[in-house]
C-alpha cells in the first residue's frame, strides 16, 4: 500500500472578486507515493505544488477527493486526529522558519517538548540529530550565527525530531547557493537511505529532481500532466511542459536558432545521436565513425546520468564522402536513434 495516495483530489478557493468563479489551485490530482520513495513534484510558480503539500499534511482540507496517509483517509478525520497524522510528517521550508531567539539545540528540541518527551530523551535525541546533520558543535549557537546551509541542516534535524515516516521539503534549496544545495541534497539522500524516511520534494528546479528523486510528477495549472520514474520522464518527456523543464538540464536536438549558429561555425553534416540506458555507447558511435574514415566533432549536447543510468543527445558535425557518411549512419541507426538535422553547409 502506498504511504501517500491522492485520488481525484481538488482544492478550490473563493474568488476575491464577487461573482467570479472559484480559483482551482489543485485540479483532480491522483498520485501514489510508495514507502521509501524520494518523490519530486515540480512545476512553475502557481502550478499548485505548495497547495498540494498543505493538503498532504492536512493544513488545509481538500474540496473533493480522498487523501490517504499511511492507510488512513485524512479527509475524513476530525482535527484532533489530524494532529496525530501531522506528528508523523516532518517539513522543511525555503526560508528555514527557525526561532531566532532560540539556540540550535532549543530549535531542534521544540517539537519534542510539544510531543511530551522527557528531558533525558530530548537531550539524547537532539544530540543524535545534531551529530547526524554535522552540527554537534553548533548546539549553543543562534540562527543568526549560521550560514544558510547550516540553518537548513537545523531545519532538517528539527523536522526529523519526532521520527516521522514522511518528510516534506517545500523549495528547501531555493535560497541556497549551488555548492550548499549539493550538500543539503546529499544530506536528504542520507535521510532517505539510512533512516528510511519517505521524502516528497516540492521544487521548480529540475536539477534538484535529477539529483535526488526516484519518481517525479510534473504539475501545470493545478493538474499533474506527467508522472513516472525520473529516468523515463527525463529521457523521453511526453508533455510540452515536461519537455521545457527537462530542457533546462538536458540539451536535446538543437532548435532552429541554435542550428543556425552551429551551421555558421562548423562544416559538415550535422547529426544528433540520442542515447538511452542500454543503447550502444557514445564511444562505440565515435569508433564506428572513425572506422568509416570520417572526420567529426562534437558541437552540441551531452550525456546525463540518473542513478547510474545514462541518457542524452550528442550532436556532431560529420565530414567525409557523402556515401561513406550514409553507410555509417545507416549502420549506427540500427542501435541508436539518429536524427540528421542539416546537410552540409558550404563555407
d(CA 136, CA 105): 9
Q: Is 167 helix (H, G, I), strand (E, B) or coil?
A: strand
- Cβ–Cβ under 8 Å, residues 14 and 209: no
Say yes or no to pLDDT of 52 above 50: yes
Using the Cα atoms of residue 247, residue 249, residue 253 and residue 254 in order, give the sign of their dihedral. Answer: positive
| Average pLDDT, integer, range 34-58 | 92
pLDDT at 281: 78
d(CA 228, CA 237): 10
pLDDT at 55: 94
| Average pLDDT, integer, range 91-104 | 91
d(CA 110, CA 112): 5
| Average pLDDT, integer, range 112-116 | 92
d(CA 248, CA 215): 18
Q: Which residues of 305-319 are buried (b: 16+ CB within 10 A; e: fewer)?
A: ebeebbbbbbbbbbe
For 27, 57, 245, 268, the CA distances from 204, given in Å and listed in that order, are 19, 20, 9, 38
Q: What is the DSSP letter of 221?
A: T
Segment holding 319, helix H or strand E: strand 309-319
| Average pLDDT, integer, range 36-44 | 94
Percent of the chain with pLDDT over 90: 65
pLDDT at 346: 36
Q: 508522472: which residue's cell?
A: 227
- Cβ–Cβ under 8 Å, residues 163 and 116: no
pLDDT at 110: 95
Give CA 74 to chain center in angstroms: 26
pLDDT at 29: 96
Percent of the chain with pLDDT over 70: 97
Segment holding 156, helix H or strand E: helix 148-159
pLDDT at 249: 80
β-partners of residue 306 are 309
pLDDT at 344: 46
pLDDT at 199: 97
| Average pLDDT, integer, range 119-137 | 96
Residue-wise pLDDT tens digits, 205-248: 888 998 999 999 999 999 999 999 999 998 888 888 888 888 88
Q: What is the DSSP letter of 43?
A: -
Pairing, β 166-170 against β 4-13? unpaired
Q: How confident is the model at residue 279 (pLDDT cuts 50, 70, 90)?
A: low
d(CA 106, CA 220): 39
Residue-wise pLDDT tens digits, 170-213: 998 988 888 999 999 999 999 999 999 999 999 988 889 989 99
First-to-last C-alpha distance (Å) of the chain: 63
- Cβ–Cβ under 8 Å, residues 53 and 202: yes
| Average pLDDT, integer, range 11-38 | 90
Q: How confident is the model at residue 280 (pLDDT cuts 50, 70, 90)?
A: low
d(CA 118, CA 256): 66
pLDDT at 345: 46
Q: Is 175 helix (H, G, I), strand (E, B) or coil?
A: coil
β-partners of residue 200 are 39, 168
pLDDT at 236: 86
Inter-helix orientation angle 119-132/148-159, to 10°: 140
Q: How confident is the model at residue 342 (pLDDT cuts 50, 70, 90)?
A: low
Segment holding 324, helix H or strand E: helix 322-332
200 contacts: CB under 8 Å, gap ≥ 6: 4, 33, 39, 41, 53, 56, 166, 167, 168, 169
CB atoms within 10 A of CB 285: 22
| Average pLDDT, integer, range 35-40 | 95
Say yes or no to pLDDT of 105 above 80: yes
**Pairwise pLDDT comparison (118 vs 1), residue with the higher score:** 118
Segment holding 105, helix H or strand E: helix 104-114
Say yes or no to pLDDT of 39 above 70: yes
236 contacts: CB under 8 Å, gap ≥ 6: 276
What is the average pLDDT value for the chain, to the nearest integer?
91
Domains and CATH numbers, the chain: 4-88+164-247 (3.40.50.300), 256-342 (3.30.70.260)
Say yes or no to pLDDT of 347 above 50: no
Give pTM, 2 decimals.
0.85
Amino acid at each position: 500500500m502506498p504511504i501517500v495516495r491522492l485520488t481525484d483530489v481538488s482544492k478550490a478557493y473563493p474568488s476575491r472578486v464577487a461573482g467570479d468563479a472559484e480559483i482551482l489551485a489543485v485540479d483532480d490530482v491522483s498520485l501514489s507515493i510508495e514507502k521509501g520513495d524520494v518523490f519530486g513534484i515540480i512545476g512553475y510558480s502557481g502550478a499548485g505544488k505548495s497547495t498540494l503539500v498543505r493538503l498532504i499534511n492536512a493544513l488545509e482540507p481538500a474540496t473533493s477527493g480522498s487523501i490517504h496517509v499511511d492507510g488512513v483517509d485524512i479527509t475524513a478525520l476530525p482535527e484532533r486526529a489530524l494532529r496525530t497524522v501531522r506528528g508523523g510528517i516532518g517539513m522543511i521550508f525555503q526560508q528555514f522558519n527557525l526561532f531566532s531567539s532560540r539556540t540550535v539545540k532549543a530549535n531542534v528540541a521544540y517539537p519534542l517538548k510539544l510531543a511530551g518527551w522527557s528531558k533525558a530523551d530530548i537531550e539524547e535525541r537532539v544530540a543524535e540529530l545534531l551529530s547526524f546533520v554535522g552540527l554537534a558543535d553548533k548546539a549553543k549557537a543562534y540562527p543568526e550565527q549560521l550560514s544558510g546551509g547550516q540553518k537548513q541542516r537545523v531545519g532538517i534535524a528539527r523536522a526529523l525530531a519526532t521520527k516521522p515516516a514522511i518528510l516534506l521539503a517545500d523549495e528547501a534549496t531555493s535560497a541556497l547557493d549551488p555548492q550548499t544545495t549539493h550538500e543539503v541534497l546529499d544530506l536528504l539522500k542520507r535521510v532517505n537511505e539510512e533512516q528510511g524516511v519517505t521524502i516528497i520534494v516540492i521544487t521548480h528546479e529540475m536539477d534538484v529532481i535529477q539529483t535526488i528523486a526516484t519518481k517525479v510528477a510534473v504539475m501545470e495549472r493545478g493538474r499533474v500532466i506527467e508522472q513516472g520514474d525520473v529516468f523515463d520522464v527525463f529521457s523521453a518527456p511526453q508533455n510540452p511542459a515536461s519537455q521545457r523543464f527537462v530542457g533546462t538540464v538536458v540539451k536535446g536536438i538543437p532548435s532552429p536558432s541554435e542550428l543556425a549558429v552551429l551551421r555558421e561555425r562548423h562544416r559538415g553534416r550535422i547529426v544528433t545521436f540520442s542515447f538511452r540506458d542500454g543503447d550502444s555507447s557514445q564511444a562505440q558511435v565515435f569508433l564506428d565513425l572513425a572506422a568509416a574514415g570520417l572526420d567529426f566533432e562534437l558541437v552540441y549536447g551531452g550525456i546525463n546520468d540518473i542513478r547510474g543510468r545514462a541518457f542524452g543527445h550528442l550532436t556532431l558535425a560529420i565530414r567525409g564522402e557523402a556515401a561513406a557518411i550514409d553507410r555509417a549512419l545507416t549502420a549506427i541507426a540500427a542501435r541508436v536513434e539518429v536524427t540528421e538535422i542539416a546537410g552540409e553547409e558550404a563555407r
